[in-house]
Amino acid sequence: MKRHVAWAAMAVTFAASAAIAETAPMDVKFTDVGAVAESLTGQPGDAAKGAEVAATKSLGNCVACHKVSALDASFQGNVGPELNGAADRWDESQLRGIVVDAKHTFEGTVMPAMYKTGPFIRPGDGYTGKAAPADLPPILNARQVEDVVAFLMTLKEE
């Protein structure tokens, strides 16, 4: 009985610390060049999962605008620059900043902020054309952002 309670208490602390470790979209701090130093989850991301997030339309959909040779996705767009070699050009904190909200790195860019919940002008509920719910989630969650960052860190040419 005593052991049971101890386990339960430990599980609660664990959950609480995990929740605290995750940085909410409103709380992300950018450096003056638009970088985000700390992992949003406090954990390293998973590059393989990040590749899937980047290539999937309903998730990051990065291939809509970027060509990434490492990804097996047809019809990669060219609204943004090719991402091959991105890790040679940027360090991890800068790439995280670009994925979270690229407007801090590139003023006025068309690249959408992946980890932002507002304010937006007439936010919608996904691609339905209807109004967004009050608690509109960011396009990617903290874990998915870290996975994409880990994937980007594998894009080296040098």
Residues that bind ligand HEC (CB under 6 A): 54, 60-62, 64-66, 79-81, 83, 86, 89, 95, 98-99, 102, 106, 109-112, 114, 148, 152
**14 touches, from ligand HEC, another protein, none (C-beta below 5 to 8 Å by class):** none
Residue closer to another protein (CB basis): 76 or 84: 76
Burial class (CB in 10 A: 0-12, 13-18, 19+), 78: exposed
CB of 24 to ligand HEC, least distance (A): 19
**Distance (Å, whole) CA 49 – CA 148:** 8
DSSP-assigned states of every residue in 21-50: HSPPGGG----TTS---S-SSSS---HHHH
From the CB of 126, what's the least distance to ligand HEC, in Å? 14
Q: Would you say 2 or 130 has its CB closer to another protein?
A: 130
- Phi, psi for residue 141 in degrees, rounded to 5: -85, 175
86 binds, among ligand HEC, another protein, none (CB under 5 to 8 A by kind): ligand HEC
The residues that touch another protein, with contacts defined as CB under 8 A, are 57, 61, 63-65, 74-79, 110, 112-113, 116, 120-132, 136, 139
* Cα–Cα dist 41/144, whole Å: 10
Between the two ends of the chain, the Cα-to-Cα distance in Å is 59
